[in-house]
Amino acid sequence: MPLSPGNPHFPTTRWTGVLRVLGSEDTGRRKQALADLCRDYWYPLYAFARRLGRSQEDAEDLTQGFFIHALERDVFSLADRNLGTLRTFLLKIFQRYMSDVRDRERALKRGGGQDHLSLDIEGGENLYAADLATSESPELLFDRTWAQSLLRAAQAALAASEHQAGRGPQFEILQSFLTPDSVAEHGYESVASSSGMTPEAIRQAVSRLRKKFRKCLREAIAATLHDPDEARIDEELAALRVALGG
């Protein structure tokens, strides 16, 4: 199955640190890297399969089976960095995997003794329900949900850092000011009245959090680039904004 171009604004970049780990001989590190990759990026593949008309159950089996297949067949060690981004590579080999499974008449069966990775399918279906209102192609939907996954990964990293520093309660109050898909319903005054902080203190705290969030986002993007530099990260940030429609 040929790979459709998807969102042409995504730049062609080179390979990633996580792929180097997945191609290593350390089985433990490879399994952990695969689990991390699945955790952060399973939903774009799941949404791609759903947009192609696969049922919720089939999309779950395909997505989970794909990551297990990728580890068992060591496909990442064969990756050619000239193929493009991690995003491009994952979609390409997922399309191949879907075609192979179809040709084998679903050799992977639910509960068939295969290992399983933890997927939040209910949460994924809730996200996909919102995506039903769009008319995007499977490829463009994949690009957008990939960008959203990067935002969620960055926010999760920031949350962990803030909780570790003892600022968890404040972060929970202010996190709604951080991302486009999580906009606060009320202004600083409303938050201030319920938190015991002044509006100015809220504004300053949000400003600091946004700077930290941008740093976390750049780090999340860098993790998908081989030998990342500031220019490549800037390109991918710009592409992310285009994928999100703004």
Who wins on pLDDT, 68 or 208?
208
100 domain residue, yes or no: yes
Who wins on pLDDT, 157 or 182?
157
Question: Domains in the chain: how many in total?
Answer: 1
pLDDT for res 216: 92
34 domain residue, yes or no: yes
12 domain residue, yes or no: no
pLDDT band at 130; cut points 50, 70, 90: confident
pLDDT for res 13: 42
pLDDT band at 5; cut points 50, 70, 90: very low
Helix axes 27-51, 56-72, angle to 10 degrees: 150
pLDDT for res 47: 94
| Average pLDDT over every residue of 70-95 | 73
Q: Is the pLDDT of residue 36 over 90?
A: no
Amino acid at the residue 183: V
11 domain residue, yes or no: no
Which residues make beta-bridge pairs with 179? 182
* Euclidean distance between CA atoms 108 and 29, whole angstroms: 25
pTM above 0.85, yes or no: no
Instruction: Give percent above pLDDT 70 in the chain.
Output: 75
Which residues make beta-bridge pairs with 182? 179
Query: The domain containing residue 216 runs over which residues?
Result: 17-243
pLDDT for res 198: 87
4 domain residue, yes or no: no
**Residue 160: partners with Cβ closer than 8 Å, 6 or more residues away:** none
Who wins on pLDDT, 97 or 80?
97
Q: Is the pLDDT of residue 95 over 80?
A: yes
Q: Is the pLDDT of residue 6 over 60?
A: no
* Euclidean distance between CA atoms 151 and 221, whole angstroms: 9
| Average pLDDT over every residue of 23-30 | 72
Phi, psi of 74, deg, nearest 5:
55, 40
10 domain residue, yes or no: no
9 domain residue, yes or no: no
pLDDT band at 3; cut points 50, 70, 90: very low
8 domain residue, yes or no: no
Give, in order, the Cα–Cα distances in Å from 167 to each of 135, 173, 174, 198, 238.
Answer: 41, 10, 11, 17, 30
Buried b or exposed e, range 79-98, using 16+ CB within 10 angstroms: beeeebbbbbbbbebbbebb
* Euclidean distance between CA atoms 68 and 62, whole angstroms: 10
| Average pLDDT over every residue of 39-44 | 87
pLDDT band at 185; cut points 50, 70, 90: very low
The Cβ of residue 71 has, within 10 Å, a number of other Cβ atoms equal to: 21
Structure tokens at 46: 């799941």
